[in-house]
Amino acid sequence: MTTSNITEYTNTRVLISKIPEGVAPNKDHFKTITVTETKPVLEEGSVFIKNVIFSLDPYIRHEFLPGTTQTPVIGFGIAKVLQSSNASFPVGSTFFGNLPWETYTTLSATALALVVPLQLDSELPLSVYNGVLGTSGFTVWDSLRRVADLKAGETIYISSAAGTLGQVAGQLAKRKGLRVIGSAGSDEKVAFLTSTLGFDAAFNYKTQDPRSALTSAVGPAGLDIYYDLVFDSTLETVLDILNPHGRIISVGIVAAHQGQAVAAPKNLINILMKQLRFEGYTVYENFDQWGLFCEEMTPLVKSGEIKYAETVVEGGVDVVVETYLNVMKGVYKGKVSVLTGAADL
């Protein structure tokens, strides 16, 4: 879209039509509309952008505003600047951050303070900046460094291991010399973990009893670290089998996003008795190490040393809802993105 000679434009956006309460989202919770809007007159420090690619993550659900029926959906994505009154974001520049599910957006100077400018590598697909080299990859890289205290020879278990975070966590742990165990929801994903990503062991939590499968995979050496992306009843099992001074890093709540019961372990006393460390991590306050992350991870991704699986769906904003609902059903493997504007870059 050329913005210099137009006064109006067509914008497609996704709204919440019904707040999911205690259930996984379905199509009745969303409404996709197309409207004609007037070209904005930018305030000082603001920009007008094209949203080029959306990151479809379970936690989008928790951006919904309670008690409203016309709430914009907000999630991570990448945008290109079409008009600018902000010297830090010139026309043609790209960044990632929290973006509404719509074709075009105007962001204020305040909103821009929360986004991260991107330096795209022409040898890599744009989608990697939504996944392994984006917020997902950074979340894993930073949480392992800040919280996990990885030590060679230890054993780490990763739940939801075939997703983007799990894939990266397993590979980074292997690079540090740990024994890596993962779980996933299909035999295909389990095979991917062991055959492609090099996990030492993996199991299908849908067809195997998680307690028995994990206990068997861990073996007599016991478990040292749990990288928890689900926050379900598995936590109780882990508290029983963790070695003294073990660590739990809680990073995701897939169970809650899917309308399932979240963890309510009855054996929390093990945290005291085993002197365990149990810490939560969210990425939002920790972008101070973004530059170092890019320096370390980009060469590993380009060389193929860090592998990844992803699904990129091409289309307009009108395909976002259906794709998101498939994410919630576990249809895809790895990071899922909707690419709406590859030709715009």
In this structure, the chain runs to a length of 345
pLDDT digit string (tens) for the chain, length 345 residues = 555 556 789 999 998 877 666 667 788 888 999 999 998 899 999 999 999 999 998 766 445 556 666 778 888 999 999 999 999 999 999 999 989 999 999 999 999 998 999 989 999 999 999 999 998 999 999 999 999 999 999 999 999 999 889 999 999 999 999 999 999 999 999 999 999 999 999 999 999 999 999 999 999 999 999 999 998 889 999 999 999 999 999 998 776 666 677 778 899 999 999 999 999 999 888 888 999 999 999 999 999 999 999 999 999 999 999 999 998 888 887 889 999 976 565
pTM beyond cutoff 0.95: no
**What is the DSSP-derived secondary structure letter of residue 166?**
H
Q: Exposed e or buried b for every residue in 42-79, given b needs 16+ CB within 10 A?
A: beebbbbbbbbbbbbbbebbeebeeeeeebbbbbbbbb
Three-state DSSP class for residue 196:
helix
* Calpha distance 236→264 (Å, rounded): 8
Three-state DSSP class for residue 204:
strand
Give 281-320 as a 3 state SS string. Answer: CCHHHCHHHHHHHHHHHHHHHHHCCCCCCEEEEECCHHHH
The superfamily CATH assigns to domain 138-284 is: NAD(P)-binding Rossmann-like Domain (3.40.50.720)
Q: Identify the CA nearest to 16 among candidates 2, 31, 26.
A: 31
* Calpha distance 13→1 (Å, rounded): 17
**For the chain, what are the domain ranges?**
3-131+309-339, 138-284
Q: Which CATH class is domain 3-131+309-339?
A: alpha beta
* Calpha distance 195→182 (Å, rounded): 12
Q: Identify the bridge partners of residue 100 per DSSP, sorted by sequence position.
A: 74
C-alpha dihedral (52, 53, 59, 62), degrees to nearest 10: 20
Which residue reads 């008795």 in tokens? 273
